[in-house]
Structure 1
Amino acid sequence: MARIKIVEVGPRDGLQNEKVLISTDTKVELVERLIAAGVTHIEAASFVSPRWVPQMADSAEVMRRVPRPAGVRYLALTPNLQGLDAALAAGVHEVAVFGSASEAFSRRNINCSIAESLERFRPVLARARDEGLKVRGYVSCAVACPYEGAIAPEAAAEVALRLHQMGCHEIAMSDTIGRGTPGTVCAMLAACLKHLPAAHLAGHYHDTFGSALANIEASIGMGLGTFDSSVAGLGGCPYAEGATGNVASEAVVARLQELGHDTGIDLTRLREAGAFIRHALLTAPRR
């Protein structure tokens, strides 16, 4: 079986919408525990306005304090040039931009159309390229939208293709509200694969209705080898009511092991990292 790459998004996508304030010390220790478990790709920061995402206000300090062992790569969300400058100063290895396959979701999330959002990202990708920094693209609502319902596979594929043409090396196709099934996810991926090789695609599946693991297995059958997950199943989306957390990293690694795939991650230590952050959330003050 092939090696499966896991992108751990808990420290950023997982924590940003939690209703309690997580200390910098706790965030750094979570990252340390994930590294000890063998996680090598970690979305650890978000350089956006702290007014909109207060949980991520200490991203620069987190990046200053996290360990830097060989082979570990840190990813940060950078929606604009100001965020990119901050990410470069913080020493991240890769940055990310977020698009959407849904016009309604794009307008509610970042207050612009899909086309306008892509144009906003163009200078970010150009500057990142000049700095030798890889850029990852996310396509939100690639399967379904809380406002529009089902999304046409071709609409998701078009946004993925545009991000790829702009310079994104990897496109994470996101089932933001967790309504995807193996059938709808494979239909979306089939549309994408008409334009992009599977090596440039990743699956980012929420587990709202318990289908994420089945969707990952089906995606592997379509040729994908990279998946996002969040330790302890942390995360959600403030613009998608009812969207619970990303699929839990512990569940993903366990299932992949059952299927005979290698992730390079120690499941026992990963579960310990999940227990650590769950306890921290239970004991932290509400914000």
Structure 2
Amino acid sequence: MFSLPKTATIIEVGPRDGLQNEKNEVPTDVKLRFIESLQKAGILEMEVTSFVSPKWVPQMGDAAEVMGKVHRTGRQFVLAPNARGIENAIASGADSIAVFVGVTDSFNKKNINRSTAESMEGLAPQIRRLKEDGLFVRACISTAFHCPFEGPVDPDRTLGLCREFAGLGVDELSVADTIGMADPSESYSLFGRLKEELPDMLITAHFHDTRKMALANILASLQAGVDRFDTSAGGLGGCPFAPGATGNVATEDVVYMLERMGVSTGVSVAGVCRAVDEVAGFVTRPLSSGMYNLHQNGQPK
């Protein structure tokens, strides 16, 4: 049909991005069981928590406790928005730090009360120090396609921000369709340009499934050369600072699609569904994942 990679890497973001917007408090022990079950399902890279102000994201108020008790299997990312968050993350023993910046000023100001340029100015010395200390740095690029406040985003703006991060020496770029408005043509074009301009960079596609376009966008990204994808078990997620953003694309749906096409992930669909069972009773919104619904109904996979 077309050329596809033989393998793809799944980066699970459910414990962080998936749970951050939940209104119910998810107990720490439930989060830890969720994480451990995902690891047993074959997930080797995962965002486990974030060191943000509990005033703004109370769900992540137990970040230090999670990091103190989590099983260190594979790579555990910790999101940190600023110098204080980075210091707290390092103190917890984190060795893989994720930072984030929105392409658009409007989103960035809603999120962390800074323009994009101000955020980059503050992060630059932090990233250089992290790399000098040998830590893995993942840069999350929000509103890479569309912004809830400014509308369509010029791809050149996204590429410019990615180049800036690359110049600082980050290890990975996670490029996000934050409000789920990208289409496959846009995805193929942007990721194709990124792969061409930054051939040595780890590039990860991060899609929200607001308009049920995420799987199509992942297929387009595969064709553009991307083989790393952020996904969230059960399709959990949303962004508290992006009106209209719904859950991330479901890990189990992505794994099922990739494996059916002959792209190996090393992840068990059934194992991911069992992990979702651990947290399903504590979340407030319906889980719309196709594979998880089959799992709940006891139907064959």
TM-score (normalised: structure 2)? 0.90
Given that 1:154 and 1:188 are in contact with CA atoms closer than 8 Å, whether structure 2 keeps it comes out as no
Distance 1:200 1:30 in 2: 26
Is 1:30 aligned with 2:40? no
Alignment partner for residue 252 of structure 1, among 251, 254, 257?
Answer: 254
Equivalent in the alignment of 1:50: 54
TM-superposed CA distance for 1:8, in Å, is: 0.4
Equivalent in the alignment of 1:212: 214
User: For residues 154 and 190 of structure 1, do their structure 2 counterparts lie closer, same or farther at Cα, with a shift above 3 Å needed?
Assistant: farther
Per-residue CA shift, 1:104-151, capped at 9, x if unaligned? 212222222211111111122122112210110011111111111111
Equivalent in the alignment of 2:278: 276
Secondary structure of the residue that 2:55 maps to in structure 1? coil
Q: Which amino acid aligns with 1:42?
A: M
Distance 1:241 1:84 in 2: 27
Distance 2:216 2:45 in 1: 23
Distance 1:278 1:78 in 2: 26
Given that 2:147 and 2:179 are in contact with CA atoms closer than 8 Å, whether structure 1 keeps it comes out as yes
Equivalent in the alignment of 1:152: 154
Secondary structure of the residue that 1:49 maps to in structure 2? coil
TM-superposed CA distance for 1:186, in Å, is: 1.8
Distance 1:192 1:99 in 2: 17
Equivalent in the alignment of 1:163: 165
Equivalent in the alignment of 2:125: 123
Given that 2:215 and 2:249 are in contact with CA atoms closer than 8 Å, whether structure 1 keeps it comes out as yes
Distance 1:112 1:83 in 2: 16
TM-superposed CA distance for 1:199, in Å, is: 4.6
Distance 2:187 2:164 in 1: 20
Per-residue CA shift, 1:2-53, capped at 9, x if unaligned? 2211110000111011010001100110011001101110100111111111
Structure 1 stretches of 4+ with a deviation exceeding 3 A read none
Per-residue CA shift, 1:180-205, capped at 9, x if unaligned? 11011122223323421275211000
Secondary structure of the residue that 2:89 maps to in structure 1? helix
Distance 2:152 2:190 in 1: 11
Report the number of matched residues: 281
Distance 1:178 1:204 in 2: 10
Equivalent in the alignment of 2:22: 18
Distance 1:193 1:36 in 2: 31
Alignment partner for residue 43 of structure 2, among 31, 39, 55?
Answer: 39
Distance 2:272 2:150 in 1: 36
Secondary structure of the residue that 2:281 maps to in structure 1? helix
Give the CA RMSD over aligned residues. 1.5
Alignment partner for residue 8 of structure 2, among 4, 12, 18?
Answer: 4
Alignment partner for residue 70 of structure 2, among 63, 66, 71?
Answer: 66
Per-residue CA shift, 1:196-249, capped at 9, x if unaligned? 127521100000000101111110111111100001111101122111000010
User: For residues 26 and 251 of structure 1, do their structure 2 counterparts lie closer, same or farther at Cα, with a shift above 3 Å needed?
Assistant: same
Given that 2:33 and 2:278 are in contact with CA atoms closer than 8 Å, whether structure 1 keeps it comes out as no
Distance 1:167 1:132 in 2: 11
Distance 2:250 2:59 in 1: 20
Secondary structure of the residue that 1:30 maps to in structure 2? helix
Q: Which amino acid aligns with 1:13?
A: D
Greater shift in the superposed pair: 106-115 or 206-215: 106-115
Distance 2:200 2:221 in 1: 10
Q: Point out where structure 2 has 5 or more consecutive residues left out of the alignment.
A: 286-301
Given that 1:100 and 1:114 are in contact with CA atoms closer than 8 Å, whether structure 2 keeps it comes out as yes
Structure 2 counterparts to residues 82-121 of structure 1, below 5 A:
82-121=84-123
Q: Which amino acid aligns with 1:244?
A: T
- Identity of counterpart residues, as a percentage? 42
User: For residues 262 and 198 of structure 1, do their structure 2 counterparts lie closer, same or farther at Cα, with a shift above 3 Å needed?
Assistant: farther
Greater shift in the superposed pair: 75-84 or 139-148: 75-84
User: For residues 103 and 276 of structure 1, do their structure 2 counterparts lie closer, same or farther at Cα, with a shift above 3 Å needed?
Assistant: same
